Amino acid sequence: MTLLSVRGLHVWFDLPDGRQLHAVQDVSFDLDPGERMGLVGESGCGKTTSILALMGLLPSSATVGGEVLLDGRNILERGEETLRPHRWNEVAMVFQGAMNALNPVKSVERQIVEPMELHHVAEGAAASKQAGELLELVGIPARAGTRYPHEFSGGMRQRATIAMALACSPRILLADEPTTALDVMVQAQILELLTGLSEEMGLALVLVTHDLPVVAQICERAAVMYAGAIVEQGPMDELFHSPRHPYTRLLFAATPDLYADEPVLSIPGAPPRLDQDITGCPFHPRCDKAFERCPRERPELKAVAAAHEAACHLNDEVSWSGSRIE
Amino acid sequence: MRADYVIKRTAFAIITIFVSITLNFFLFRVIPGDAVSNLARVPHATPQLRQALEKEFGLDKPKWEQYVIYLKELAHGNLGVSFANQEPVWSNLKTALANTLPMVTLGTVFAIVIGLIAGVFSAWRRGTKLEQVSTNVAIAFYAFPTQWLALVLLIYLSAFLPSHGMTNDFLLNPTPWEHFKDVLLHMVLPSLTLALTLYGQYTLVVRSAMLETLGEDYVLTARAKGLPQRTIVVRHALRNAMLPTTTLIALSLGYIVAGAILIETVFSWPGIGSAVYQAVTQRDYPMLQGAFLVLTVSVIFANFVADLLYFKLDPRITE
Amino acid sequence: MGVRPDIVGEGAGLEAPPPRRRRGGWFFQILRESRQAKVGLAVLLFFIVVALLAPWIAPYSVHEQTGAVYCPPSSEHLLGCDDGGIDMLSLLIVGGRTSLVVGFAATFVAMIIGGGIGIIAGYRGGWLDGLLMRITDYFLVIPDLPLAIIVAAVWGPSLPHLIFVIALLLWTSTARIIRSQVKSVRELVYVKRARSLGARNTRIVFRHVLPQIGPLLIANTVLTVAIAIFDETALSFLGLGDPSAVTWGSIIQFAFLRSAISAGAWWAIIPAGLCVALVIMGCYWLGQAIEDALNPRLKVAHLSPRSFRLRPLPGRGKDAE
């Protein structure tokens, strides 16, 4: 029973000169209960915008199209009206850079209790107690809750935002770059925490990041985004070992391996502008495997294996010999 | 430690008061054109008064001794004697200050309330025509010279409201209630003028602070939690916007004093502002000196209170 | 200019806006893009031109009675006359010249004092910085008008004294801004390199520091002029200006002292104050526009009255929210 189903999500942003920027293009994916999914890509590929759109957290300059089905019902249907009831108690979010995501003049406990009281999960002393328990769950002593965000270290702040996100027992957690700007040791702890929560509480997780090792560690599935669209989507080990899109392959190969002697690969060039229509494959100018069909025709997202799809013309060609990464 | 902050601010207040006292002395005694020797400029200083003052302030002694005497006299609350009415400066000023405070408080509170409402509105409805009008009106009132604004209100509202002094001299033997009403009526124009001259500045400050906070990530978090808009605006955005607002209101205290001086002069409100004006025109240097000191100490004290308020509002302040 | 990054949050694949160039071109760029700057500058230029041409465009002399006492506006005297029968319009034009001169001069002096202190404090640092900042703090806390009053009262009324007294109230904001800018510029890599190469301090200050802080300084200057003119009207009103000078402040003062109100002579009061207000507004618009351009608010509001729009799926026909 699919928990969340995103169908044909589009987001446009108004530009000052009257045109629009097509930031998210026809994004679709499904999420099962307890599943951990990664959403990866370069900065600016639209991954953050996509998950903000899921909760309707976009500014007034945005236009959204498509469907977001929660338990089969489209919560995007009437915008704010249908989205707001599900915020935090069904779908919660952990933001990038918890420094600013927490209100500096309120205690951490107060900020965890706030949604509890709003959604009538608990009130007063009971709520404080539950907040304390949540803090313990993420590895922070309960009595630290009365302190203010600036008194916490970066890692603890991030844990606190996770505790805050769990306040109303959501079924889905959207995590936007939860480990960026944290040092590696703390990163590992946070990832372990998220995995544990997902397994024990049946929490579905969408992990948005540009950091591939992070995704590889804890996600079972991933979707790779480029220039606002998903170019490949499938099980983690398949993406890693037999990618079916050149961008995916290059993305995974671009992560430097400390122990190998290979030169560090980087992908030359830059992503295309999203305020103009794109002809052909958006990746073809940077692709090392582009051929004459690529600039003319935009590839569609098609199944290439079980639960694995990719948008690349090479998959139609018989002589595709995707390199294996050892 | 949070207590450090309080101690630091207290020390700063005390030192600044001391600097002002010294500055006062310096200006009137040390620089050429010694103000007391300027008694020659004062038409009604009798020879006896002159002699008494010379003795009291030790004008025949070296400057540093004068300074010590000056400090000692201050410690006893002796600010000298007014040239104009031969009364002790302090008793003159005490009454004047008591008259000024209610008027200024009323005007300032009113300005803060309007400033908050208009500022939040301007930030919320940024870019709309109405907001632009509101913001420019605020700029206009900020730009109007205070005394001119007072005169304009005088011209157009004196038919409806008393515009001279604090009480109606023709009201004989008023009951306390009648007296209170009388004073209140007289207070309307001066307070209104002060409120109008201040609110523009406050609107701009609140607007600016709100624009900052509305773009902060914790506002997005609040929205993600499902909080209704109004709650987020007040509980998160406005609450945080109060921090720079408090600072800037504290910085406007000097402006409030200036406003009080100009407004009281126009409306003949018998407060400390009028006292300053009269002291200037009458060359009543002891009164001038005393008024400067009283005003400066008041502002320093008010600043100190504002510092404490900020301290309460912002948990991040540790030093 | 490229797309504002705040709208889309991430780079969105567009090229970054071209880096802001720090030559004279920046000023005209701001002018071109901000209507507020255009209006502010236009207002200021109008008054400056009138002030420059004052001796030639004032219809009558300001020292001779050319009309009846408090005569109302007429075709001969467009803004009526004051209590001495002197043409109001001429008074305003000539007064404007003096007011602007006082305003600019006081600002200039304040810039020198504040700039000097700011540069020394920011560049040298250490105990000197601490001391200068303490002094600045004291000046900030001590109320402006009372300070100006006692200095002016003791010193005696004259135009140069007035200019200096006003400057005394203005220098602190400049000192602060310059100090913080100098401090940050000082830490820039190329400045450090210059210093390690042995460049003399003054050279560093003029070649590197000043161009960086130039724009912000201009904004501060413009805003300071506004305050200077405001202060001039206040001090003149209290009788601490030059009694022989005609300024907008003195016009208001005379109207007050000579019972213009009971004579019903609104023209002796209202135009002068409006002129002051317009100049201050012009300064504010221009100065604020420059400051806004230099410190753009990069954050998009996460909360606003209107919500995002919905595009209905093709064939559904549902209205947007």
**CB–CB contact A65 C310 (8 Å):** yes
Distance CA A167, CA A133 (A): 10
Distance CA A128, CA A113 (A): 6
Distance CA A300, CA C147 (A): 76
Choose among A93, A105, A148: nearest Cβ to B224.
Answer: A93
Distance CA C267, CA C248 (A): 13
Tell me how far CA of residue A123 lies from CA of A120, A136, A137, C107, in angstroms. 7, 19, 20, 58
pLDDT at C73 > cutoff 80: yes
pLDDT at C5: 35
Any chain B CB within 8 A of the CB of A110?
no
**CB–CB contact C312 A13 (8 Å):** no
Distance CA A11, CA A66 (A): 9
Say which range, B140-154, B285-299, C60-74, has the weakest mean pLDDT. C60-74
pLDDT at C51 > cutoff 50: yes
pLDDT band at C202 (very low <50, low <70, confident <90, very high): low
Say which range, B129-138, C197-206, C215-224, has the weakest mean pLDDT. C197-206
Q: What are phi and psi of A6, to 5 degrees?
A: -100, 125
* Contact in structure between A68 and A6 (CB atoms under 8 Å): yes
**CB–CB contact C269 B148 (8 Å):** yes
- Tokens for C124, please give them: 């040298």
For residue A8, give how far its alpha carbon lies from the nearest alpha carbon of chain B (Å): 22
* Average pLDDT, integer, range C210-239: 88
**CB–CB contact A87 B243 (8 Å):** no
pLDDT at B187: 93
CA A111, A113, A115 angle in degrees (round to 5)?
85
For residue A70, give how far its alpha carbon lies from the nearest alpha carbon of chain C (Å): 18
Any chain C CB within 8 A of the CB of B205?
no
3-state secondary structure of B88: strand
pLDDT at C236 > cutoff 90: yes
**CB–CB contact B33 C156 (8 Å):** yes
pLDDT band at B86 (very low <50, low <70, confident <90, very high): confident
Any chain B CB within 8 A of the CB of A97?
yes
pLDDT at A206: 95
Contact list in B for residue A100 (CB cut-off 8 A) is 216-218
* Contact in structure between C182 and C122 (CB atoms under 8 Å): yes
- Tokens for B233, please give them: 């605006």
pLDDT at B134 > cutoff 70: yes
Q: What are phi and psi of A278, to 5 degrees?
A: -105, 130
Say which range, A244-248, B267-271, C118-122, has the weakest mean pLDDT. C118-122
pLDDT at C321: 38
Which chains are adjacent to chain C, needing at least 3 Cβ pairs under 8 Å?
A, B
**CB–CB contact A60 C306 (8 Å):** yes
Contacts (Cβ under 8 Å, ≥6 apart) of C181: C118, C122, C209, C212, C213, C216, C217
pLDDT at C14 > cutoff 80: no
Contact list in C for residue A57 (CB cut-off 8 A) is 302
Any chain B CB within 8 A of the CB of C150?
yes
Which chains are adjacent to chain B, needing at least 3 Cβ pairs under 8 Å?
A, C
Q: What is the pLDDT of residues B226-267, one digit of tens each?
A: 999 999 999 999 999 999 999 888 889 999 999 999 999 999
pLDDT at C319 > cutoff 80: no
List, for chain A, all residue ranges whose pLDDT scores fall below the cut of 50: 319-326
pLDDT at C47: 95
pLDDT band at C281 (very low <50, low <70, confident <90, very high): very high
Q: Cα C44 vs. chain centroid, distance in angstroms? A: 10
Within 166-185 of B, beta carbons closer than 8 Å to C belong to none
* B2-11, B70-79, B296-305 — most confident range: B296-305
pLDDT at C17: 41
Contact list in A for residue C9 (CB cut-off 8 A) is 48-49, 52
Choose among B216, B225, B315: nearest Cβ to A115.
Answer: B225
Contact list in C for residue A270 (CB cut-off 8 A) is 13, 15
pLDDT band at C230 (very low <50, low <70, confident <90, very high): very high
Any chain B CB within 8 A of the CB of A58?
no
**CB–CB contact C311 A65 (8 Å):** yes
> Which of B20, B93, B151, B155 would you mutate first to test chain C, the one with the most C CBs within 10 A?
B151
pLDDT at C318 > cutoff 60: no
- Tokens for B108, please give them: 């300032």
Choose among B126, B266, B288: nearest Cβ to C150.
Answer: B288
Choose among C239, C273, C276: nearest Cβ to B280.
Answer: C239
pLDDT at C316: 43
Choose among A86, A93, A101: nearest Cβ to B218.
Answer: A101
pLDDT band at C2 (very low <50, low <70, confident <90, very high): very low
Distance CA B272, CA A246 (A): 80
* Secondary structure in 3-state letters for chain A: CCCEEEEEEEEEEECCCCCEEEEEEEEEEEECCCCEEEEECCCCCCHHHHHHHHHCCCCCCEEEEEEEEECCEECCCCCHHHHHHHECCCEEEECCCHHHHCCCCCCHHHHHHHHHHHCCCCCHHHHHHHHHHHHHHCCCCHHHHHCCHHHCCHHHHHHHHHHHHCCCCCCEEEEECCCCCCCHHHHHHHHHHHHHHHHHHCCEEEEEECCHHHHHHHCCEEEEEECCEEEEEEEHHHHHHCCCCHHHHHHHHCCCCCCCCCCCCCCCCCCCCCCCCCCCCCCHHHCCCCCCCCCCCCCCCEEEECCEEECCHHHHCCCCCCCCCC
> Helices B272-281 and B89-124 sit at what angle, rounded to 10 degrees?
120
Choose among A104, A105, A118: nearest Cβ to B226.
Answer: A118
**CB–CB contact C318 A77 (8 Å):** yes
**CB–CB contact C273 B149 (8 Å):** yes
Contacts (Cβ under 8 Å, ≥6 apart) of A306: none
Within 261-300 of C, beta carbons closer than 8 Å to A belong to 300
* Average pLDDT, integer, range C131-142: 87
B241: nearest CA partner in chain A: A105
Any chain A CB within 8 A of the CB of C141?
no
B265: nearest CA partner in chain C: C238
Distance CA A13, CA A63 (A): 6
pLDDT at A255: 63
Question: What distance, in Å, lies between the first and last C-alpha atoms of chain B?
Answer: 7
Which chains are adjacent to chain A, needing at least 3 Cβ pairs under 8 Å?
B, C
Choose among A52, A56, A272: nearest Cβ to C13.
Answer: A272
Q: Which residue would you say has higher pLDDT here, C212 or C284? A: C284
Q: Using beta carbons and an 8 Å cutoff, which residues of B are at the interface with A?
A: 216-218, 220-227, 236, 239-240, 243, 313-316
Choose among B221, B226, B243: nearest Cβ to A119.
Answer: B226
pLDDT band at C306 (very low <50, low <70, confident <90, very high): confident
Contact list in C for residue B271 (CB cut-off 8 A) is none
Classify each residue of C181-216 as buried b or exposed e, where b means 16 or more C-beta atoms within 10 Å of its C-beta: bbeebbeeeebeebeeeeeeeeebbeebbbebbbbb
A80: nearest CA partner in chain B: B226
Among the listed residues B91, B101, B99, B100, the one whose alpha carbon sits nearest the alpha carbon of residue B286:
B91
* Average pLDDT, integer, range C213-217: 80
Give the whole-number percent of chain B exceeding pLDDT 90: 49
